[in-house]
Amino acid sequence: MAYVLGFIAADGYVWKSERGAKYIGVTSTDLEIVEKIRNIFESNHKIGCRVSNNPKWKNRYILQIGSKEIVEDLAKLGIFQNKSLNIKFPSNIPDRFLKHFIRGYFDGDGGVFLGQYWRKDREKLSWVFQVYFISGSRIFLEGLHRALKICTSKGFISNKQRGYALVFSHRDGLALFRFMYNNVPEELFLKRKHSVFIKANQLFNGPVEKPGVLVSLSRRKSWVQIPSGPH
């Protein structure tokens, strides 16, 4: 359940109806993750689809469930209605659940990037590997940064057009991979993002599964990239 609570903190919402009924909702462009969350709840609720009229935007999938208990659990973590700009990182998550909460948040509002660029000063290709978390609340990311000190050594928060990003590079990114995914079944993570971590881990710590696929780049091209971020 910590995974679901983390995802809701990122890409979910809570609300109370005029009659006092309490609901939680999750929304994502990844149908896979919405279906997995429904399975965790052992729910048969229908998943809605908001079709985009803009060809550049993906359709969004929505799951809404009435649950007084979960709304109250979220409130204990400081997650309320209209949370986006004032949410704080929960200070009362038990250590054994921390990685699941953070991975849930990452699958909602995080991303991993693996790419190459041509370095003119060294006349060679260099790899870029970054892991990032996004939020409209800087305070939340500052708390997350402190919590991740258990497995990372650096990281920085940068301003974005619509909020902030907590960014980690290379070694810290691999440390986050081990922390978030160690001994976790595939029912509790988004495959699209996990697969980029696998490629990065193979690249930096072992043989690449398909040699040549990631490194085929001419000097005329500045980037080859495998981004996987929030949509």
Sign of CA dihedral 25, 80, 188, 198: positive
User: Does the pLDDT of residue 80 top 80, yes or no?
Assistant: no
- Euclidean distance between CA atoms 14 and 24, whole angstroms: 4
Q: Which helix (H) or strand (E) holds 45?
A: none
CATH superfamily of 2-81: Homing endonucleases (3.10.28.10)
Quick one: average pLDDT of 193-201? 95
Q: Lowest-pLDDT range, 18-27, 114-123, 131-140, 146-155? A: 114-123
| CATH 3.10.28.10 segments of the chain | 2-81, 108-228
Q: Give pLDDT, residue 70.
A: 82
User: What residues does 39 pair with on adjacent strands?
Assistant: none
Q: Give pLDDT, residue 211.
A: 34
- Residue with more model confidence, 228 or 138: 138
Domain 108-228 is found in CATH 3.10.28.10: yes
For 37-55, write each residue's pLDDT tens digit: 999 989 999 999 999 888 8
Residues of the chain with pLDDT > 90: what percent?
A: 58
User: Does the pLDDT of residue 104 top 80, yes or no?
Assistant: yes
CA distances from 213 to 8, 114, 200, 208, 224 (A): 35, 13, 13, 9, 10
Q: Lowest-pLDDT range, 12-16, 75-79, 152-156, 202-206? A: 75-79
Q: Give pLDDT, residue 84.
A: 72
DSSP string, 139-185: HHHHHHHHHGGGT-S--EEEEETTEEEEEEEHHHHHHHHHHHHTT--
Quick one: average pLDDT of 198-223? 53
**Tokens for 4?**
């679901």
211: three-class secondary structure by DSSP: coil
- At 213, is the pLDDT very low, low, confident or very high (cuts 50, 70, 90)? very low
